[in-house]
Amino acid sequence: MTITVFGAGAIGGITGAALAKAGHDVLLVDRAADHVAAINAGGLTVERRQGAETVAVRAITSDALEAGLDLVLLAVKSQDTPTALGVLAPRLAREGAIVSMQNGLNEELIASAVGEHRTVGCLVTGRRTGSHPAASCTAARARWCSASWTDGRALAFRRSPSCSTSSRRPA
């Protein structure tokens, strides 16, 4: 299964690089053609306090995105969500899902476009700074903390020990 990360800025870039490094098939999608070209030419560099690391990962612009997306990690700015959904909704596989990894609460908007059963909310914490056409992101202690389906089903993400998740259906 390919994990499509829509938005290859700080959150999307760091997450996509970590997933690619872990051996997952990752496709980064970004609107900036120069950023995409830089990623494809030299990988994506994530800079941390411990040093920089470059990870090879595929990247495309949204106009090259094909249909049949199984899992999309949505990492665009909140104001770009409607435009992103216009691209993603018709390309999402029948059983596909969109995980909102955004700085904002956009799950209801996403659910209105693709259905609640295909919408996942996710909280990402940590300090992140932007990326630029040199294809790098800076992170300091970015952590996965929790994720849940909007209809209450549990979804497990690998997380840091300092974070907690609940596998119970909300009351």
Compute the half-sphere exposure of residue 142: CA atoms within 13 Å on the CB side of its CA: 19
89: nearest Cα among 169, 16, 6 = 6
d(CA 97, CA 115) in angstroms, rounded, equals: 9
pLDDT higher than 70, residue 24: yes
**Using one digit for the tens of pLDDT, what is the confidence trace for 47-75?**
878 888 999 999 999 999 999 999 999 99
**pTM here?**
0.78
**Using one digit for the tens of pLDDT, what is the confidence trace for 105-121?**
899 999 999 999 999 88
Pick the CATH number of 2-149 from 1.20.1420.20, 3.40.50.720, 3.65.10.10, 1.10.3720.10: 3.40.50.720
Per-residue pLDDT, 52? 87
Please check whether residue 118 is in contact with residue 135, taking contact to mean a CB–CB distance below 8 angstroms.
Answer: no
Q: What is the mean pLDDT of the chain?
A: 79
User: Under the phi-then-psi rule, with left for phi > 0, alpha for psi from -120 to 50, and beta for the rest, what region is 143?
Assistant: beta
**Residue-range domain boundaries for the chain:** 2-149
Q: Please state the rounded mean pLDDT for residues 30-59.
A: 91
Using DSSP bridges, classify how beta strands 25-29 and 58-60 pair: parallel, antiparallel or unpaired: parallel
pLDDT higher than 70, residue 134: no
d(CA 148, CA 4) in angstroms, rounded, equals: 19
What type of residue is 87? V
The structure tokens listed for 41 are 């030419």
Q: How confident is the model at residue 126 (pLDDT cuts 50, 70, 90)?
A: low
Q: How confident is the model at residue 144 (pLDDT cuts 50, 70, 90)?
A: very low
In the chain, beta strands by DSSP E: 2-6, 25-29, 44-48, 51-55, 58-60, 69-74, 92-100, 119-132, 136-149
Per-residue pLDDT, 138? 44
pLDDT higher than 50, residue 29: yes
Please check whether residue 8 is in contact with residue 30, taking contact to mean a CB–CB distance below 8 angstroms.
Answer: yes
pLDDT higher than 70, residue 127: no
pLDDT higher than 50, residue 1: yes
